[in-house]
Structure 1
Amino acid sequence: MPQRRHVTRAAFTAAAATALLAFASPAWASSTVPLNPSHKGSTAANFQQECDDERFASLGDNQDGWHFVLPGSDAGSFETLTLTFNDGTGQVEIKIPDASDAYPDYLYSTGGNDPQTIHAYVFTPAGWTLVDGSAVISGTGDKFNLSHTCAGTTPSKSPSPSPSSSESPTPSESPSTSESPNGDTSASPGSSVGGSGGTQGGLPLTGVAATSIALTGVVLIGGGVALMTLRRRRDKITFTS
């Protein structure tokens, strides 16, 4: 009889331990599930927006708020999330939770008698696009969802300032004297050039004027000589009676 009792107790203990392992195994096991494929490529502005979510109370004007959720009780809780966004120039990876992350993010528990961390929030600069994501969960499932968003205002680039007035090109100054093709500079009408041996301020002697003066001088000299000759001849004539 005592031996049978020991066998019965051993069998009961083994059955109890197996039952405990069976109940505990879902909590110990972790699995990785992807983001719902239909939510890839979403922006906060084109998704279902619920800006009255109290978790978005601290959302900045230039930030987008994102709320992710696990569907069904079998999924257990979020352990970690990895999200990939496109910021317009390239891809940015965000892990939740991550205290060193530049973007605010946290996991939110439902509380109660059977708390589950099935909510996840992250704030990003406005205008980003959700590219992909994966989550490590404590239960079982085939995906997690983007529940709703709150879109911020995308900062617009200010246009480059246009000049207040257009500057007209400075007019070129005309020279006071014009240069002849051989490099000589002709005097303007208001200036005077003195000739060699002439009176300062007189007009220059040109070729035609010099010739006329010379001829006039020769004529005058010739005339004077002729008159002197005639006079001498007259003086030599004597009258006889």
Structure 2
Amino acid sequence: MPQRRHVARAAVSGVAATALLALAAPAWASSTIPLHSAHQDSTAADFQQQCADTRFTDRPADHDGWHFVLPGGPSAGGFESLTLTFDNGSGTVNVTVPDAGDAYPDALYPAGQNESRLIHAYLFTPAGWTLVNGSATISGQADRFNVSHTCADQPTPQSPTPTPTSSASPTPTPTTPESPTPESPTPTPTVPESSDTPSDGTGGGDGNLPVTGAAVTTMALVGVGLIGGGVALIALRRRRDGITFTS
């Protein structure tokens, strides 16, 4: 009788254990969930920037850092893989995390020090890529996964290329204006004055050479002689007329 009871208890325990496993198994089955719709068609610059995140320390130059997170607590399990679609400007590129053979560095990290669930995913892509869409396979149940934060590439500031400016015309050096050289006046020929030149200094008005002093004196003497002769002739005539009248 005691032996039968032991077997019955074992059977009941076995049934109970099977029931518990049956209930737990669906909760931890793998499932595929989408990327949060609000985070689709976005660039790294569209999210909160946390470049101080130590997971971004090894971010290659000219790359954007992405941090994806799985919310929902223990029932969500953890990431098994992520498939992300990016637009690189020339077309779409599919990136899988984790993938050691992918050209874009990526990694999965646990939720915390005492948890083995992988709920953090990091990925580095060339700067400027647009996250079009994505899906994740997880070990539990959740509605979606999110972009937690990013570190958009900050291009190294380049020194502005100096704008060529037109060469300014050199300021002309003021020069002292040269004083005009006075032209030597054309000397007017002067006629040497004779001692007999009249006191008013006028010469001939017709442009001929002035009459010399000797010629003027001669003319004066001739004039005086003529005047004297005329007076003498008048006197003689009057005398003659008087004599005739007397007779």
TM-score (normalizing by structure 1):
0.60
Give the gaps of 5 or more residues in structure 2.
158-247
Residues 120-151 of structure 1 show CA distances to partners (whole Å, capped at 9, x for unaligned) of 01100001000000000001011000111101
Note the 1:1-241 alignment, pairs <5 A: 1=1, 2-27=3-28, 29-73=29-73, 74-153=75-154
Equivalent-residue separation in structure 2 for 1:121 and 1:5 (angstroms): 54
How far 1:83 moved relative to its partner? 0.2
Equivalent-residue separation in structure 1 for 2:27 and 2:115 (angstroms): 14
Equivalent-residue separation in structure 2 for 1:101 and 1:51 (angstroms): 23
How far 1:14 moved relative to its partner? 1.8
Conservation of the 8 A alpha-carbon contact between 1:108 and 1:119: yes
Equivalent-residue separation in structure 2 for 1:119 and 1:35 (angstroms): 14
SS in 1 for 2:93: strand
SS in 2 for 1:79: strand
SS in 2 for 1:152: coil
State, as a whole percentage, how many aligned pairs show the same letter. Answer: 55
Residues 73-108 of structure 1 show CA distances to partners (whole Å, capped at 9, x for unaligned) of 121100000000000010000000111100001111
SS in 1 for 2:115: coil
Conservation of the 8 A alpha-carbon contact between 1:60 and 1:152: no
Aligned-residue Cα RMSD (Å) equals 1.9
Aligned residue pair count: 155
Residue identity in the other structure for 2:86: F
Residue identity in the other structure for 1:86: D
The verdict on how the C-alpha distance between 1:47 and 1:114 changes in structure 2, with shifts beyond 3 A counting, is: closer
Residues 32-76 of structure 1 show CA distances to partners (whole Å, capped at 9, x for unaligned) of 000000000110112211111100011133100000000121211
Equivalent-residue separation in structure 2 for 1:107 and 1:12 (angstroms): 39
Give the gaps of 5 or more residues in structure 1.
157-241
SS in 2 for 1:49: coil
Q: Larger deviation: 128-137 or 111-120?
A: 111-120
The verdict on how the C-alpha distance between 1:88 and 1:98 changes in structure 2, with shifts beyond 3 A counting, is: same
Q: Which residue of 2 aligns with 1:179?
A: none
Equivalent-residue separation in structure 2 for 1:69 and 1:11 (angstroms): 42
Equivalent-residue separation in structure 1 for 2:68 and 2:57 (angstroms): 17
Residues 209-233 of structure 1 show CA distances to partners (whole Å, capped at 9, x for unaligned) of xxxxxxxxxxxxxxxxxxxxxxxxx
